[in-house]
Amino acid sequence: MQRSLYDNDHDLFRDSLRRFIAREVVPHHQAWDRAGIVERSLFTKAGAHGFLAMDAPVEHGGGGVVDFRYNAIIGEEIQRAGVNSAGLGWTLHNDICLPYFLSLTTPEQKARWLPGICSGELITAIAMTEPAIGSDLASMTTTAMRDGDHYIVNGSKTFITNGINADLVITAVKTDPTQRHTGMSLVVVERGMVGFDRGRNLDKIGLHAQDTAELFFTDMVVPVANRLGEEGSGFLSLVDKLPQERLSIAVTAVAAAQQAFDITLAYVKERTAFGQPIGSFQNSRFRLAEMATEIAFAQSFVDGAVVGLNEGTLTAEEAAMAKWSCTELQKRVIDTCVQLHGGYGYMAEYEIARAYADARITTIYGGTTEIMKEIIGKSLGV
């Protein structure tokens, strides 16, 4: 499908990024999968090449270009190269964490944190989910009680992407435990703070190169100067930033579906059964036609949503539509692609098998499919 989303500058960026991924990520991907974590040098190398914090101000080391199309290209190229488990923390750093540091920080905080975020020397994460709560963020029990110029933080978080590598963790806490939404605030927890402990690197069924950790806070002292925004505004800040996060997930979901389709199309043209390529059977052609059509429609919707985000018109409901529909499409397409691969599709050495395992989480993180439908349904007045 011919796309009109990108111009020549974006194409040049994509070419440079594609070479970078081929050189700095693909050769190490299997080793990182086995280790359960990427080397920190991935971030510093990406920063040195201008692939981090493209929309951060130039004076702090960023690209100074506010255009989510560059972020989308990174998500697409990571999928095209089949290195999603190594790249998820990279897109989290750019697409999800950086906006908090751009819009909620004071000049002093910007000067303190943005240069390292842009260079990759400070890896970021965001901690919302707790062992006992997922989507119901207002029920969190991690507290941050004010004590002069500090907060005393107690509690825990789980399923935190970049949880092992992170130097700066945007952490959702209750500064007023008697309140639900209005009692939430955001504080930045820094590596090395006394009382901050990381649990194990969680063993997942997919995304093996992406470190995902438990975090524990025991009488941890965090300066009030590390708070993002006003006290009690944390929930509203999260709600404000979630559309971009969900669009980022949708972008990569469509790209993952496209990559699975491409490798499967090549496979069914070469693999033979009963004396002819398996792609020539009517069932195979029909399934391929269905997938190609669904991917094209999803890509068109997502491209429009990227334009909407750039223009400031993307709504929470539209982002929710993109997130749930594209991640469900990703799962459906990859499942069909595994089927078309036959027994080889179940072998871990095949890219389609790894994509199958990696895809299962996408309808859960960033807001489950069910929560996305709730958001859309409420907007319809029902």
Q: For the chain, how many helices (H) and strands (E)?
A: 12, 10
Distance CA 22, CA 101 (A): 30
Contact (CB, 8 A) for 78 and 87: yes
Contact (CB, 8 A) for 70 and 10: yes
Tell me, yes or no, if 245 is annotated catalytic. Answer: yes
**In this structure, is residue 286 part of a structural domain?**
yes
CA nearest to 256, candidates 291, 226, 290, 223: 291
Separation of CA 250 from chain center: 9
**In this structure, is residue 3 part of a structural domain?**
no
Q: Are 329 and 343 in a shared domain? A: yes
**In this structure, is residue 291 part of a structural domain?**
yes
Q: Are 242 and 364 in a shared domain? A: yes
Separation of CA 310 from chain center: 18
Q: Which two tokens stand for residue 151?
A: 């907060």
Q: Are 244 and 140 in a shared domain? A: no
Output the pLDDT for position 71: 98
Reduced to 3 states (helix: H, G, I; strand: E, B; else coil), residue 92 is helix
Q: Are 67 and 171 in a shared domain? A: no
Contact (CB, 8 A) for 303 and 312: no
Q: Which two tokens stand for residue 7?
A: 């111009």
pTM of the predicted model, to two decimals? 0.96
Contact (CB, 8 A) for 144 and 376: no
**In this structure, is residue 133 part of a structural domain?**
yes
Contact (CB, 8 A) for 171 and 187: yes
Query: Can you give the residue range of the structural domain that contains 228?
Result: 125-232
Count the domains in the chain.
Answer: 3
Among the candidates 122, 151, 182, a domain finishes at: 122
Q: Are 103 and 158 in a shared domain? A: no
CA nearest to 154, candidates 163, 146, 144: 144
Phi and psi, residue 143, nearest 5°: -110, 155
Among the candidates 201, 232, 263, a domain finishes at: 232
**In this structure, is residue 56 part of a structural domain?**
yes
CATH of the domain at 32: 1.10.540.10
Distance CA 6, CA 109 (A): 33
**In this structure, is residue 190 part of a structural domain?**
yes
Among the candidates 189, 215, 232, a domain finishes at: 232
Going residue by residue through the chain (382 aa), what tens digit of pLDDT does each one get?
Answer: 789 999 999 999 999 999 999 999 999 999 999 999 999 999 999 999 999 999 999 999 999 999 999 999 999 999 999 999 989 999 999 999 999 999 999 999 999 999 999 999 999 999 999 998 878 888 999 999 999 999 999 999 999 999 999 999 999 999 999 999 999 999 999 999 999 999 999 999 999 999 999 999 999 999 999 999 999 999 999 999 999 999 999 999 999 999 999 999 999 999 999 999 999 999 999 999 999 999 999 999 999 999 999 999 999 999 999 999 999 999 999 999 999 999 999 999 999 999 999 999 999 999 999 999 999 999 999 8
**In this structure, is residue 311 part of a structural domain?**
yes
Length of the chain: 382
Q: Are 241 and 227 in a shared domain? A: no
Q: Are 86 and 169 in a shared domain? A: no
Options 130, 245, 311, 317, the catalytic residue? 245
**In this structure, is residue 2 part of a structural domain?**
no
DSSP-derived pairing of the beta strands 276-277 and 150-161 = unpaired
